[in-house]
Amino acid sequence: MSVTTNETVNRSEKSGPAPAGKPQRRGFFAAGQYIPYALLLPAIVVLVGVLAYPLFRLFDLAFQNVNRYAYLVNPSLSKYIGFEGFSKILGDHQFWEVVLRSIYFTAELVILSMVLSMLIALLLNRVSNWARVTVITVMMFVWAIPALVNGQVFRWLFSPNGGVVDYLAFLVTGDESWKHYDWFADPNVGLYVVGASVIIWGALPFLVLGLYAALTQVPAELTEAARLDGANAFQVFRHVTIPVIRPFLMISAALSFIWDFQVFAQIFSLRNTSPEPGYWTIGTYLYMNGIVRSRYSESSVISIVMILMMLAVLVFYIRQMLKIGANER
């Protein structure tokens, strides 16, 4: 992290128009070194006040053997075991199975949800007003429904006994056997088809509405000018639209990755609160091996390993994202 910091600072010093050594400040508040800190203060106070101890505890527990409730209640019973907890998790072959599955599943979710939401957001820019309001209202509906109720509805939809998805498949194909097709018998179908559709369905409203809002920031003059210069629709999208919405695009992609990588609640609900090992991605692994077993230290270890993995994937992203707003102009 410190490397990145230095790098950004160096860059700003080299490329900024301001004299070397002085931070670049333009626009508002172009006075006073302390202003950014004053602006950050409320956020920092809240975050530190609420999260400092929990995060410290997360790391503290990771190096202890607090794997039963009694140890948590009576700290004198527990002891520090160094990296033993880490080597136990990293040496668990099931863990690596789960990591691999999480990578496939996350890739599927992020790619599909980003592409679909981009397409829908672009579509919203081309439709009549009434159609757009309809789509947005539906999206809002989907987003607002509590997760507890969502899970229940999807379990009904995909039920092998009178489920509506089976029935629709029967209506379309005319094949009676579809009426009792069990979507969950094969974990690969259950996870990569049913699980993915539940999660993408739930993720689309956020992404579509966000991307749509970002698209409204694309100046019409720019796209029109590009068209006058003979650019086709794809070129306009690639060279005019994308650069403008890039900040939001990157952030939503990164956030989608973060949320999808640790996805848990939807799978848990879909599998009657006891997901089979074939459904375990890393979020479920954390819950089934750590949380529900009251293995507080192992939960911490898994959480930390999970965070490190996400950071490793996002490291290039982060470098890109740090630049936004620093000295792009």
Partner 1 sequence: MNRKIAAVAAIATVLVASACSSSSSSSGGDKATLSKDGKGKKVTVWLMQDAQKGWPEVVEAAKKEFTAQTGAEVDVQWQTWTNYTTKLDTALLSGNAPDALEIGNTQAAKYIEAGSFVDLTSVKSQFDNSDKWLDSVAASGQSADGSKTYAVPYYAGARVLIYRKDLFDAAGVTQAPTTIDELKAALTKVKAANANVPNFSALYMPGQNWYSAVSFGAGQFGVKGIIAKKDGDKWTGNLTDPKFIEGVKTWNDLQKEYSVGGTTTDEATQDAQMSKGNIAAIIGNGWEVSAVADPKTGDPALKDKLATIALPGLAAGTPTPAFLGGSDLAVPSKAANPGLGATFLQIYTNTAQQTALAKHAIPNAKNLVAAYKQADPANKATGEAAEGLTWFIPNSPLWSGADETALKNAFGAIAAGGDPATELKKAQETLVKDLNG
Partner 2 sequence: MTATTTHPSGPPVAPEAPKPKKKKVKVRTTGQKPVVTGIWNTLAIGVALVMAFPIYWMILTTFKTNKDLIAQDPTFWPSSFSFDSYKTIFDDADFLPSLQNTLILTLGAVVLGLVVGFLAAVAVARFNFRGRSFFIVTMLVVQMVPLLAIIIPLFVVMNKAGLTGSLLGVILAYLVFTVPYVVWTLRSFIVNIPAELDEAAMVDGCTQWGAFFRVILPLTLPGLITTGVYSWIQAWNEFIVANTLISSGGDGSKTSMIWLTFYSTTPTRGADYGSQMAGGLLVSLPVIILFVFFQKKVSAGLTAGAVKG
Contacts of partner 2 in 256-295 (CB under 8 A)? 258, 262, 283, 286-287, 290-291
Q: Which residue is it, tokens 């100046």?
A: 219
CA distances from residue 66 to 7, 25, 297, 303 in whole angstroms, order as listed: 39, 49, 5, 15
| Residue 44 to residue 271: CA distance in whole angstroms | 39
168 interacts with partner 1 by CB under 8 A: no
106 interacts with partner 2 by CB under 8 A: no
Site string for partner 1, 72-101 (x = CB under 8 A): xxx---------------------------
> Residue 2 or residue 161: which is nearer to partner 1 going by CB?
161
> Residue 103 or residue 321: which is nearer to partner 2 going by CB?
321
> Residue 50 or residue 100: which is nearer to partner 2 going by CB?
50
| Residue 148 to residue 265: CA distance in whole angstroms | 9
* Interface positions, 186-245, toward partner 2 (CB under 8 A): 201, 204, 206, 209-210, 213-221, 223-224, 227-228, 232-234, 244
Q: How far is the CB of 327 from partner 1 (least distance, A)?
A: 24
Give the binding range for partner 1 (CB under 8 A) out of 18-26, 65-73, 127-135, 198-206: 65-73
* Interface positions, 175-214, toward partner 1 (CB under 8 A): 180, 182, 184-185
DSSP string across 235-286 = HHIIIIIHHHHHHHHHHHHHHHHHHHHT--HHHHHHTTT---GGG--HHHHI
**Three-class SS of residue 288?**
helix
| Residue 66 to residue 69: CA distance in whole angstroms | 8
- Cβ proximity of 63 and 82 under 8 Å: yes
